[in-house]
């Protein structure tokens, strides 16, 4: 009788924990296996409509590519671009990061008022020098006036909308160094203060790195004074052509930003001719 009672006892808790761990391990291996197989047989996509860019293709295999290390770099980019349900995984990771208090993803800050703000990057010194030398050479070898106008990104103009203590690079300092490198024969048109004076208006899109038509309009008024363009005070009528625009930074970062309105500026002067 005592032996029967012992046999009818439930297995100890440790037994069920081991079985649970076993099932989880099997499920994990099965999921990894299925994802691997699907990625192998999946047909490559040509373009990401959400990111509005062409996706990487399978790199060619050659001795030079392998020995130089370029093949593995290109292959990693290729597999990242072609990974099954890529947009879903990016959004899923971003949501997890947000729950943990992280507000930076893939070079994009999740700012205030629904703005996604692209981080400032260090300029490519080699290409920057080539461009500055070309501008200076052009200005120093002709009598025509040469102007430059480098437009700051939202990270410089809307810095008050960045997350607290965001470690962003000073784009204004980079622009200052650029101007110091220009020849005295080059006139630089600085529109930073102009844009800051109107920063409460929508000068940049909430989910895209481009400026809006309104930002371009105010910068044009500043440039017109330097260029001697008359009638720069012409009246314009604005028309909304889209009210649900979502830019590339939303897909790049995985964050959901505020949808934008796209507007166009049309001169009200009847004498203006259109092509």
207-258 confidence digits (pLDDT tens):
999 999 999 999 999 999 898 887 655 688 889 998 888 888 887 888 877 8
Contact 150, 180 (CB under 8 A): no
- Reply yes or no on whether the pLDDT at 44 is more than 90: no
Sketch the domain layout of the chain as residue ranges: 13-99, 106-267
Confidence of residue 58 (pLDDT cuts 50, 70, 90): confident
Confidence of residue 19 (pLDDT cuts 50, 70, 90): confident
Q: What is the pLDDT of residue 49?
A: 58
Report the range of poorest mean pLDDT among 38-52, 62-76, 207-221, 261-275. 38-52
Where are the extended beta strands (E) located within 104-214? Answer: 104-105, 108-110, 116-118, 146-148, 186-188
pTM of the model: 0.69
Quick: pLDDT tens for 89-116.
777 777 777 777 678 888 899 999 999 9
Question: SS3 letters for the chain?
Answer: CHHHHHHCCCCCHHHHHHHHHHHHHHHHHHHHHHHHHHHHHCCCCCEECCCCEECCCCCCCCHHHHHHCHHHHHHHHHHHHHCCCHHHHHHHHHHHHHHCCCCEECCEEECHHHCEEECCCCCCHHHHHHHHHHHHHHHHCCCCCEEECCCCCHHHHCHHHCCCCCCCCCHHHHHHHHHHCCCCCEEECCCHHHHHHCCCCCCECCCCCCECHHHHHHHHHHHHHHHCCCCCCCCEEEEEEEEEECCHHHHHHCCCCCCEEEEEEEECCCCCCCC
Confidence of residue 14 (pLDDT cuts 50, 70, 90): confident
Q: Mean pLDDT, the chain, as a whole number?
A: 83
Mean pLDDT of 134-155: 93
Q: Which residues are within 8 A (CB) of 242 and not within 5 positions of it... i.e. 6 or more apart?
A: 260, 261, 262
Mean pLDDT comparison of 22-36, 101-115, 175-189, 237-251, highest-scoring range: 175-189
Mean pLDDT of 160-186: 93
């Amino acid at each position: 009788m005592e032996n029967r009672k012992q046999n009818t006892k439930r297995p100890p808790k440790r037994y069920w924990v081991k079985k649970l761990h076993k099932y989880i391990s099997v499920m994990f291996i099965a999921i990894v296996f299925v994802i691997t197989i699907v990625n192998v047989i999946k047909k490559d996509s040509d373009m990401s409509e959400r990111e509005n860019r062409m996706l990487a293709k399978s790199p060619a295999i050659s001795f030079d590519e392998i020995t130089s290390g370029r093949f593995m770099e290109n292959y990693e980019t290729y597999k990242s671009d072609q990974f099954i349900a890529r947009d879903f995984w990016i959004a899923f990771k971003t949501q997890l990061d947000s729950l943990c208090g992280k507000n930076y993803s893939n070079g994009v800050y999740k700012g205030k008022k629904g703005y996604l703000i692209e981080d400032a990057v260090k300029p490519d010194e080699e290409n920057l020098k080539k461009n500055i030398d070309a501008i200076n050479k052009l200005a120093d070898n002709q009598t025509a006036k040469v102007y430059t106008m480098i437009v700051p990104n939202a990270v410089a103009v809307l810095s008050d909308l960045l997350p607290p203590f965001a470690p962003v690079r000073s784009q204004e300092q980079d622009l200052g160094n650029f101007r110091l490198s220009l020849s005295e024969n080059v006139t630089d048109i600085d529109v930073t203060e102009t844009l800051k004076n109107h920063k409460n208006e929508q000068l940049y899109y909430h989910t895209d790195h481009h400026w809006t038509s309104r930002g371009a309009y105010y910068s044009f008024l500043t440039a017109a004074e330097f260029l001697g363009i008359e009638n720069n005070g012409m009246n314009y009528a604005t028309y909304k052509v889209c009210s649900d625009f979502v830019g590339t930074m939303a897909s790049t970062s995985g964050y959901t930003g505020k949808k934008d309105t796209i507007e166009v500026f049309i001169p009200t002067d009847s004498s203006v001719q259109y092509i």
